[in-house]
Amino acid sequence: MRQFRHRRTFREKLADEHGLYKTIGWTYDTHALRKDALSEDAFMEDVRQTMAWHETITLEQLEHDDFDLLIAAWTATDRVAHMFWRFLDPKHPMYDAEKAKKYGDAVAETYRAMDAIVGKAAAKLGPDDLFIVLSDHGSALFDGDSI
């Protein structure tokens, strides 16, 4: 009789090592923020915590170096830009000058955090590794004017 041993799946390994994590729907709850069911503070705290978790997992996987292809998909910069651009543009129909004082740096903060993570990941690569950073789309104002 032959015995088969099944490796734990990657998701089971992550849960065992790091606890439960989000898997269904958007990683960042933009819908709750749009519906005022989630505050900007709570949304940004969730962004920070989720980015930190993704950073830990990505850098840990780079340490293993037992893969041919590693893809780490990040959406925080996109989601924060979509949800907080209104605090950067005084012409935006949802612009709020008071909230802009508090949240006007949220987009830049998220990009700075992402830049730091990219730097940490790049530092772990070997001389023959290929590292690609790309975006799913560019950016333009909703009124059609270029940024």
- pLDDT above 90 (res 10): no
Residue 140 three-state SS: strand
Residues contacting residue 51 through CB under 8 Å, at least 6 positions apart: 74, 76, 110, 113, 114, 117
* Between residues 138 and 79, the one the model is more confident about: 79
Residue 53 three-state SS: helix
Place of tokens 């333009």: 140
- pLDDT above 50 (res 4): no
Residues contacting residue 101 through CB under 8 Å, at least 6 positions apart: none
